[in-house]
Amino acid sequence: MPLLPPRWRLVLAVLLLVSIPIAAGVVWMGLTGIFDRVHGLVPVRPPSLDNWRFIWEGVGGRPPVHVPLLNSFVFAVVVAVIEVFVASMAAYAISRMSFPGRRFYLGLVLVLHAFPAVSLIIAIFYILRVMGLFDTLTGVILVKASLGLPLGIWLMKGFFDNLSWEMEMAALVDGMSRWTLFWKIAMPLVRPGLLALGTFSLLSAWGEFILPFTLIVSSNKALMSSYLQSFLTEAFTDFGIVAAVGLFYTLPVVALYLLGQRYLLNIYGGGVKG
């Protein structure tokens, strides 16, 4: 195996050095969740299932973990479906059609993506209260999907920009409608982009904390991120249970990342044509 050039060895050394605290945190979480007592990164007691009792029983008045787990799965999947479906249609229209204000709309999409969710939380709270969607999973799904659409539209536009015009023009000449062309020709050709955006949306929705923590107050509607935060109390925090819940919360997203990492790389292959 050829040796890396000196500059790349330096970059690799810096990356490894920066990764040490992250790796130490992951190791601590794993050891603390599995062993009953840990000093630093050294277990001092044998493994125990006591920290994992939240799986088969409610802890401290909290609902069983299957309730927030199911809510999180529904939340992540529905958000991803909405983002992929709406972003694909909007991106195709922007990429293939010329209409007044097109360039302005593209700029507006980027500006909307620049606003962090926390800066809009008061306005979002007021709108959901007026619409009767506060403290509902539907309201949080709509908010999360709408905040993710600007990035999704921009990414999918790059994939549609790279499609050949000749195939679409031939289909239109043969009498195919624009809608049929979109579903039967354009969408299959940008499947890598759809998988990349879907994976990215699932990961983003699964890790969302600010929106569900602020906009959902009922324990039976909580997501896994809010469920995990509920164990961090001012009076007493059982770090063994916190670490175990953190591991439980992390496993699905790690599995999804391992399955979808090659699709995530396609995000940078779609192009960014104007």
For the chain, which residues make up each domain, given as ranges?
A: 6-48, 62-269
3-state SS of the chain: helix, strand, coil percent to 5?
75, 0, 25
Architecture of domain 62-269: Orthogonal Bundle (1.10)
Contacts of 161 (CB under 8 A, 6+ apart): 95, 270, 271, 273
Instruction: Name the token pair of 90.
Output: 């909007």
Q: What per-residue confidence (pLDDT) applies to 272?
A: 39
Cα–Cα distance for residue pair 150/50, rounded to 1 Å: 44
pLDDT digits (tens, 9 = 90+) for 148-164: 998 899 889 888 988 88
pLDDT: which is higher, 68 or 236: 68
Where do we find the tokens 């050891």? 31
> What percentage of residues in the chain have a pLDDT greater than 90?
30
pLDDT digits (tens, 9 = 90+) for 16-63: 899 988 888 888 888 888 887 777 777 777 788 888 888 888 777 787
Cα–Cα distance for residue pair 138/82, rounded to 1 Å: 12
Is-contact 190 152, C-beta < 8 A? no
For residue 271, pLDDT beyond 80: no
Q: What per-residue confidence (pLDDT) applies to 227?
A: 92
Q: What per-residue confidence (pLDDT) applies to 112?
A: 75
